Amino acid sequence: MKFKDIETILKTSNPKDWLYDIDDRIYTYKTYVRLNILTKFPDDTASDRKFEEDWVNKFSSKDAWMLIAKVYYSGSFVKQYLFVMADGDRIISGIPKSATELEITHLQYNMGKILSYRNVDANLSDYDFKIETAGIKVKKAIIY
């Protein structure tokens, strides 16, 4: 499988297409079980993991933490992405372009949905509501 194929899956797959192992924090793509996303917190101190920007204060729980999502295929590392776990672990979002430009890519948006799916009681519209509440916009994809 090529990198572009993996990226397409991450951009377009439905969160219901993924299995989640809560103990090991691993997501497995049902169609190609060799495609996995491993989530973990940074290996530094708890205070360094904390994420503070104004948009996270729009949620009922103001605490937010950095989260690393590492993509693997057949056990080989593919790419690492940074996310923010916010609102009491109820939403995982890509990090916006800047503290004032609250824009994420479509890949960040879809991966955030995949990673948050276990947290929103299988209600995918809740994810969109939370993104909107935070004031985050999804960058329009350019199709060639």
Q: Residue 45 has what pLDDT?
A: 61
Q: Cα–Cα distance between 100 and 102 in angstroms, integer?
A: 6
Q: Residue 16 has what pLDDT?
A: 92
Q: Which helix (H) or strand (E) holds 46?
A: helix 46-49
Say if 143 falls within a structural domain: no
Residues 76-127 have pLDDT tens digits of: 999 999 999 998 888 899 999 998 899 999 999 999 999 998 754 556 778 8
Say if 10 falls within a structural domain: yes
CB 121, CB 89: distance < 8 Å: no
**Residues 52-78: what's their mean pLDDT?**
93
Q: Residue 134: which domain range?
A: 3-138
Q: What are phi and psi of 66, to 5 degrees?
A: -70, 145
The first and second tokens of residue 62, run together, are 């103001």
Three-class SS of residue 8? helix
Say if 119 falls within a structural domain: yes
Say if 131 falls within a structural domain: yes
Q: Residue 52 has what pLDDT?
A: 87
Chain position carrying tokens 């996270």:
56
Q: Which helix (H) or strand (E) holds 134?
A: helix 124-134
The structure's pTM equals 0.88
Number of domains in the chain: 1
pLDDT, averaged across the chain: 89
How many CB atoms neighbour CB 139 within 10 A?
13
